[in-house]
Amino acid sequence: MAGGQVEKRVKYKSSVKDPGTPGFLRIREGMLLFVPNDPKSDSKLKVLTQNIKSQKNTKEGSNKPPWLNLTNKLGKSHIFEFENYPDMHACRDFITNALAKCEEEPNKSAVSTSAEQLSIKELELRFKLLRENRHLQRLHKQFVESKVLTEDEFWATRKKLLGKDSIRKSKQQVGLKSMMVSGIKPSTDGRTNRVTFNLTPEIIFQIFAEKPAVRQAFINYVPSKMTEKDFWTKYFRAEYLYSTKNTAVAAAEAAEDEELAVFLKPDEILARETRQKIRRVDPTLDMEADQGDDYTHLMDHGIQRDGTMDVVEPQNDQFRRSLLQDLNRHAAVVLEGRSIADVESEDTRIVAEALTRVKQVSKADGETTKDANLERLERMSRLAGMEDLQAPQNFPLAPLSIKDPRDYFESQQGNVLNVPRGAKGLKRNVHEAYGLLKESILEIRATGLSDPLIRPEVSFEVFSSLTRTISTAKNIIGKNPRESFLDRLPKSTKDEVLHHWTSIQELLKHFWSSYPITTTYLHTKVGKLKDAMSNTYSKLEAMKESVQSDLRHQVSLLVRPMQQALDAAFQHYEADLQRRTAKSGGERPNGYI
């Protein structure tokens, strides 16, 4: 199968009765090609893999020749007769794989015949999720491709992921890279003096955001006065002039070229924005207010040259711009984030216009909102107090969103270990925490979901007892409390353990949610799941055996809870099976009476 292509000598039959045309069957990932030996024959065939609905083949050992029967979606079947069974198997496996891949890829049109018609958007979303999340992709591969779960079942448990994504998009601002635009180094070809800049939309966005004058110039000049390429050439010419720090040359060039001068002059739009912003600044750090409050700044009053103040070369040169200013401006823009998240256009002009619009809106906001002012004052009065001299203030709770639970628990462990022994009220045992959790689950059952889902105190209890249990376990294991045992395992083993754990969770989730079994569909599903689980179980055993002896104990400690969980599932399965058979048997009078 190397090279992603298989080529076999076959006879092609359009029907069972057809004697067949000898030729070559060439199978590639995307399609299937039959080339007859006789070039004049019209039985040349091309089938796209995604159009194949199913394949059948004759069994080895039956007295039939090795046939492979492919049915396409239109119901037409193509039969290939191979020379021998191994050839046929190779081809069959290849097609199976290709089909599986098809399923995974966005061209779900093949599968969409199943239950619901999925919108393209949703598919894209699923696909994006798979791409972004390596673990998810692996799970998907493992279960969906091996047909333990169907595509829909797999995603059904992740509805939240699918749904939330769209909300998240609107809520969270997209950030900007913190690299400076001036950090873009041109590439040279080494021989001539030519330099080439590679501009990505992101860079352009950043330039526009940091330099409103450039943005305005773009709107004014492109494309009426110059092409986009000319525009950027000019821009980088100006940047180059800056970098040489030769203000005389810059001034001379600016005098000649009025468009170039736009880039070299101080940014007026920026200056206006600055004036606007300075009025809204926190008064406790408003140094601008100082200017002129003490009368020392009065011309030539005070001490001029005693070495406390710094000397700087006169800055009145309008073609001078300092790196420091650029840095400040850049950081401010990064802090603001990408303000036009919804505009994902490649067109520079649209980006420029959208940015200008956003700025105008925010300016209008700034003028009207008294709320911001009020809030600022409120914050100021809050900060005026000294925090530890007064009773703790109750800040509003923010929902905790833990992205990576492992990270969270590991970072928390130091805290738990160092809790002062006598600290009362904090110490609760696991059972209490469990009790609390259970209670709140019961409550949810009774009253339905509320907001917040779980009371903060309960979740705090549960989390802290969890961290405590985890860290005590770790304390016993590791000599160094900061080093987790997992980190000591070889990377492959560690990955394997983690993967097993996630896959077991996935399986168990589906398993338990299938009960009580009411339909045959669920019945077969549970059967499949059970097989997959016992499969994993044996893999766990194998892994336990394979690790080095000094780690074996620890690994088995890690594996034990997984196995226990699986065992519980198996037990339930068996019990349920027995009950069902007993039930179905119960209809008949027990025994022979």
Of 107-115, 297-305, 467-475, 558-566, the segment contacting another protein by CB under 8 A is 297-305
Question: Which residues are CB-neighbours of 467 under 8 A, at least 6 positions away?
Answer: 409, 412, 413, 415, 416
Nearer to another protein, 244 or 415 (CB): 415
Please, which residue, 4 or 414, has the CB nearer to another protein?
A: 414
Q: Does 580 bind another protein (CB under 8 A)?
A: no
Q: How many alpha carbons fall within 13 Å on the CB side of residue 473?
A: 14
DSSP assignment letter at 165? H
Q: Which of 133, 227, 244, 328 forms a contact with another protein (CB under 8 A)?
A: 328
Residue of the chain from 3, 39, 75, 183 that contacts another protein (CB under 8 A): 183
Residues whose CB is less than 8 angstroms from the CB of residue 341 and which lie 6 or more positions away in sequence, other chains included: 169, 173, 174
Shortest spacing between CB 268 and another protein, in angstroms: 15
Among 74, 311, 397, 542, binds another protein (CB under 8 A): 311
Shortest distance in whole angstroms from residue 184 CB to another protein:
12
564 binds another protein (CB under 8 A): no
Shortest distance, CB of residue 306 to another protein, whole angstroms?
4
Tell me how far, at minimum, the Cβ of 294 lies from another protein, in Å: 4
Judged by CB under 8 A, the chain residues 226 through 285 that form the site for another protein are 274-275, 277-278, 281-285
Q: Which of 485, 460, 457, 455 is nearest to 470 (CA)?
A: 485
Q: Nearest approach, Cβ of 87 to another protein (angstroms)?
A: 56
Q: Which is nearer to another protein, 309 or 557 (CB)?
A: 309
Over its C-alpha atoms, the chain yields an Rg (Å, rounded) of 35
In sequence order, what are the residues at sequence separation of 6 or more whose Cβ sits closer than 8 angstroms to the Cβ of residue 564? none
Count of Cβ atoms closer than 10 Å to residue 413 Cβ: 19
Regarding 323 and contact with another protein (CB under 8 A), the answer is yes
Closer to another protein by CB, 224 or 390: give it.
390
Residue 465: how many other CB atoms lie within 10 Å: 21
Minimum gap (Å) between residue 371 Cβ and another protein: 15
Helix (H) or strand (E) holding 169: helix 159-171
Among 178, 227, 505, 564, binds another protein (CB under 8 A): 178
CB of 377 to another protein, least distance (A): 7
How near is the Cβ of 266 to another protein at its closest, in Å?
Answer: 11
The whole-angstrom separation of Cα 240 and Cα 243 is 5
Least separation in angstroms between CB 207 and another protein: 17
Of 39 and 307, which has the nearer Cβ to another protein?
307
Q: Among residue numbers 512 through 541, which ones bind another protein (CB under 8 A)?
A: none
Q: How many residues bind another protein (CB under 8 A)?
A: 71
d(CA 587, CA 545): 47
325 binds another protein, rule: CB under 8 A: yes
CB 23 within 8 A of CB 81: no
The whole-angstrom distance between residue 432's C-alpha and the CA centroid of its chain comes to: 36
Query: Residues 6 or more apart from 445 whose CB is under 8 A from it?
Result: none
Whole-angstrom distance, CA of residue 527 vs CA of residue 297: 86
Helix (H) or strand (E) holding 154: helix 151-156
Query: Of residues 172, 322, 360, 538, which one binds another protein by CB under 8 A?
Result: 322
Determine, following the binding rule CB under 8 A, whether residue 300 of this chain makes contact with another protein.
Answer: yes
CA–CA gap between residue 572 and residue 408 (Å, rounded): 33
Residue selected from 48, 289, 350, 444 as contacting another protein according to rule CB under 8 A: 289
CA atoms within 13 A on the CB side of 508: 20
Q: What is the four-CA torsion angle of 226, 228, 234, 240, rounded to 10 degrees? A: 180
Strand runs (DSSP E) across 350-411, as ranges? none
Separation of alpha carbons 536 and 569, rounded Å: 13
Q: How far is the CB of 291 from another protein (least distance, A)?
A: 6
Specify the amino acid at residue 251. A
Residue 417 beta carbon to another protein: minimum distance, rounded to whole angstroms: 9
If the CB atoms of residues 93 and 282 are measured against another protein, the closer one turns out to be: 282
The DSSP letter of residue 593 is -
| Closer CB to another protein, 173 or 581, in the complex | 173
Token code pair at residue 488: 């000591």
Amino acid at 501: W
Q: Which of 304, 394, 401, 520 binds another protein (CB under 8 A)?
A: 304
Residue 482: which region, alpha, beta or left (left: phi > 0; alpha: psi -120 to 50)? Answer: alpha
Of the pair 153, 273, the CB lying nearest another protein is at 273
SS3 call for 53:
strand
Window of 217-225, 301-309, 440-448, 573-581 that interacts with another protein by CB under 8 A: 301-309
Q: CB-wise, 113 or 243, nearer to another protein?
A: 243
Distance from C-alpha of 215 to C-alpha of 350, rounded to nearest angstrom: 11
> Within positions 364 to 423, which residues make up the interface with another protein, using CB under 8 A?
377, 380-381, 383-391, 414-415, 418-420, 423
**Span from 56-64, 223-231, 325-333, 572-580 in contact with another protein (CB under 8 A):** 325-333
User: Helix, strand or coil for residue 80?
Assistant: strand
Member of 156, 174, 249, 332 binding another protein (CB under 8 A): 332
Rank residues 75 and 314 by Cβ distance to another protein and give the closer one.
314
Q: Which stretch binds another protein (CB under 8 A): 117-125, 312-320, 350-358, 442-450?
A: 312-320
Of the ranges 52-60, 128-136, 178-186, 198-206, which one interacts with another protein (CB under 8 A)? 178-186
Stretch (H or E) spanning 24: strand 21-28
Q: How far is the CB of 323 from another protein (least distance, A)?
A: 6
H/E run at residue 575: helix 549-587
In the list 116, 256, 258, 293, the residue contacting another protein (rule: CB under 8 A) is 293
Pick from 111, 180, 498, 543 the residue near another protein by CB under 8 A. Answer: 180
Among 15, 117, 224, 296, binds another protein (CB under 8 A): 296
* Category of 442 on φ-ψ map: left (φ > 0), alpha (ψ -120 to 50) or beta: alpha
Work out how close the CB of 557 gets to another protein at its nearest, in angstroms, rounded to a whole number. 27
Distances (CA, A) of 171 to 17, 168, 191, 413: 64, 5, 50, 31
